[in-house]
Amino acid sequence: MRKPLTKRQLAIYEYIAAQIRQRGIPPTIREICDQFGMRSSNGAREALAALARKGYINRRERLSRGIELANPFDSLECSGTPIRVPLLRNPVNGARCIDEATGEKVLFIDSSFLPGTGRAFALLVPDGSLAKYGIRKGDLAIATECHEGQPGEILITAIDSRLVLVRVPATSDPEPSQQVPESHGVSSVFGKVNCVVRRFTGVETG
């Protein structure tokens, strides 16, 4: 269970969620300072550290807007802002970034389903290798651009000119899970999966 926030921390958290909901991206440290009248960036950094420590956000320190909601559905209350999301083609035939792999189809996804960090894109899940994690072949994976993953995260990466989903092993895993191949470095990782959309086709009975 997440620890309760102080009034100040709650105000900053609600501001972050609102910015993601309305603009599709989180605020920068400077924008947080300006919004709350902070003279130094240290105040904003301390507040973000407290939000991360209490389980409300995740931080990617090397990114200007490296703030993600730990629970993206916290921004659902007043949501309704559509984000234009390109559907990547597969195979990618040597493409090493989103721009090179973008096809002709575009989707519109509610911004509340995305944490706000990185450009969003979509991919049809090509196989059932991650079925035990609830991701099936034919699902629509919605992801945000990044070039490295954290333990437990599911990444979209290029392997032999095809985009596939792999899970970064977590230390708490009871047994070894699928690894990100060593032969595919940082440049081959396209992004991190944030949610999956599945078309309901009926229930099999037998």
Identify the CATH class of 7-75.
Answer: mainly alpha
Yes or no: say if 147 and 181 are a contact pair by the CB < 8 Å rule: no
Expressed in angstroms, the distance from the first to the final Cα of the chain is 40
Would you say residue 80 has pLDDT above 50?
A: yes
Residue 118 confidence (pLDDT)? 72
- The neighbour count for residue 38, using CB atoms within 10 Å, is 18
User: What are the structural domain ranges in the chain?
Assistant: 7-75, 82-197
Predicted pLDDT at 184? 39
Question: Which range, 57-66, 67-76, 123-132, has the best average confidence (pLDDT)?
Answer: 123-132
- Strands (E) in the chain, as ranges, are 57-59, 67-69, 82-88, 102-110, 120-124, 140-145, 154-159, 162-167, 189-197
Write down the pTM of the prediction. Answer: 0.59
Range scoring the smallest mean pLDDT among 42-56, 104-118, 163-177, 181-195: 181-195
Asked whether this chain's domains 7-75 and 82-197 adopt the same fold, the reply is no
Task: Give bridge partners of residue 123 from the DSSP assignment.
Answer: 141
**Are 27 and 15 a contacting pair, CB within 8 Å?**
yes
8 A C-beta contact, residue 123 and residue 141:
yes
Residue with the larger pLDDT of the pair 144 and 187:
144
Q: For residue 188, what are the CA distances in angstroms to 19, 58, 99, 101?
A: 30, 23, 13, 12
pLDDT of residue 127: 92
**CATH T-level topology, domain 82-197:** Umud Fragment, subunit A (2.10.109)
**Region of 22 on the Ramachandran plot (φ > 0 left; ψ -120 to 50 alpha; else beta):** alpha
pLDDT band at 78 (very low <50, low <70, confident <90, very high): very low
